[in-house]
Structure 1
Amino acid sequence: MTTRSNTDPDKLLPLTDPEAIIRSGNAEQRRLKQLKSNPTAPIPLLSKTTPSTAMSDKTAPAHETSGSTRTADASDMQTAKDWFKSVFKLQHAAIIEAQTDRRQAAKDRR
């Protein structure tokens, strides 16, 4: 015995928005293409002929930041913004769909 009142396949709603999935996939492809077109330079390794410096020889000023705390460039930030926008749109669509389902369930109980 089924407990669902809408078992007809024509009445089922898609769980996701296909256009949003396509848009997010295209955005990911653009991001990957941009990453491939802007390769980073390899980090030079110290060789045996390169003299090493002691920590006491070179002290960094207090106002300088290390490389690990650098900020992202504009293209990375734009890609991140696009990603967050698409995630927020998907979440919003899911919330709207859940609210509609709850309203329909409340009407069915009456």
Structure 2
Amino acid sequence: MKRPKGTETSAFGTNGRINHDSSKFYNSKLYSELGDKKVLDKNENDFPDDLENKFILGSAENMKELPDNSVHLMITSPPYNVSKEYDEDLSLKEYLQLLENSFKETFRVFSKIGGRACINV
């Protein structure tokens, strides 16, 4: 069976990625001023064994169970504050404060060598 020709970075979007050649992107100037990659010192705390593979019911505003610099991945679907029955009826100021508090706490627990956030919007 003949293998389809691979895609490459296009001027404006594409409908697929098959055997994609991203060299045009990686050779661009976008990140050229960042310098060489550096090996970071291990600056993280071990994750508590008793919390591995557990769900913790609570708010992202206060994750006191988790030590600083111990989490590598956060996946969240924050409240949208759009008058659903499970939403609190927050003012814009209150809603933005909730998000700020949650993301500050997330940043606290993130590993300094690779914390990643996936936010469902």
TM-score range for the pair, normalised by the shorter chain length: under 0.3
Structure (1/2) with the larger helix percentage: 1
Q: TM-score, normalised by structure 1?
A: 0.25
Q: TM-score, normalised by structure 2?
A: 0.24
More RCO (CA 8 Å, sep 6+): 1
Structure (1/2) with the larger strand percentage: 2
Could you say which structure has the larger radius of gyration?
1
